[in-house]
Amino acid sequence: MKHIGVDIGGSHITAAQVDLQKGEVVASTLSRAKVHPHGSAEEILSIWADTIKRALHGSEDGRIGIAMPGPFDYLTGICLMKNVNKYESLYGLNIKQELSDRLGIDVQNIVFRNDSEAFLAGEMRFGAGKGLEKGIGITLGTGLGTSIYQNGEAQDMALGINYPMLEGVAEDYISTRWFVDTYQLKTQNSIEGVKQLVQLYPSDVIARKLFEDFGQNLSSFIHGFIKRFEPEVIIIGGNIAHASEKFFPTIIQQLAAYNPTIQLHKTILNEEASLLGAISHK
């Protein structure tokens, strides 16, 4: 039976066959597509199914693990996304059944996993945390994903929206949205995202200060996180991780004061972590 790992984000889907023995994605089967998060249910489901079909390479004999953002009922496959600015046309639909019908694959061979969980599971088994027993995963992007790994299993913590911070919650201060909103507040100029800030970094003192402040925000959050879970390693992923050299020094300095034995790593596997982690669920 083929193992298919799938990573669904707010505007994309990636699917590929994975070799769990080797801990590798089969590159020749990799399939990607952009998805309009505000499209109709039929439009979204068609793109998802077509992308997975290409990874299957014409075979209906496959077990499919899908890393999916929340809110979502991961056991039943029912989409619960509402008021989250994506995939609201899917609210209440049984995505597991929908994909089973479209792919001709037994519903029992389709499993879902929280995307933060899948990322950390992949990194701990095959990537930056390999050989360690207890880790924290933080994904930095449109939102803030958090997960822990212990006793051989990853678990989503949803601290981004549940961890109080300053005048809101952690995600308000540790996300792309924070960068965009804060830069506009300080300069009256708009930016599209962190990638643009990286380009401005050499010549823009405010851009440099934002990365320093972001590092302080993330350090403060990490301090509370590690006090609760005492990890061996912290693994950072997500789109903002591509700019890690701009804020990692601040975190490393703070970690030295909190607990110098904890390792800090940027993701090694990138999106492959989620593809491997999605299908390696116990």
The CATH class of the 2-114 domain is alpha beta
Q: Say which amino acid occupies 137.
A: G
Q: In this structure, are residues 123 and 238 in contact, taking their beta carbons and an 8 Å threshold?
A: no
Q: Which two tokens stand for residue 222?
A: 């990490």
Overall residue count recorded for the chain in this entry: 282
List where CATH 3.30.420.40 sits in the chain: 2-114, 129-266
DSSP structure string for 199-229? HHTTT-HHHHHHHHHHHHHHHHHHHHHHHHH
Whole-prediction pTM: 0.92
Give the pLDDT of residue 275.
97
Vertex 54: Cα angle to 51 and 59 (nearest 5):
125
Four-CA torsion 206, 212, 215, 221, nearest 10 degrees: -80
Q: What is the DSSP string of 8-75?
A: E-SSEEEEEEEETTTTEE-GGG-EEEE--TTS-HHHHHHHHHHHHHHHHTT---EEEEEEE-SSEETT
Is 268 in contact with 123 (CB distance < 8 Å)? yes
Cα–Cα distance list, 203 to 51, 187, 189, 190, 197 (Å): 41, 14, 15, 16, 10
Helix (H, G, I), strand (E, B) or coil at 157: coil
Residues of the chain with pLDDT under 50: none
Q: What is the DSSP string of 93-135?
A: -BHHHHHHHHHT--GGGEEEEEHHHHHHHHHHHHSTTTT-S-E
**Can you tell me whether residue 187 is helix, strand or coil?**
helix
Q: Which CATH number fits domain 129-266: 3.30.420.40, 3.20.20.150, 3.40.50.2000, 3.60.20.10?
A: 3.30.420.40
Write out pLDDT tens, residues 20-78: 999 999 999 999 999 999 999 999 999 999 999 999 987 667 799 999 998 999 999 99
Residues pairing with 139 in the sheet: 145, 237
Tell which residue, 123, 161, 121, 124, has the closest CA to residue 145. Answer: 161
Phi-psi region of 68 (alpha: psi -120 to 50; beta: other; left: phi over 0): beta
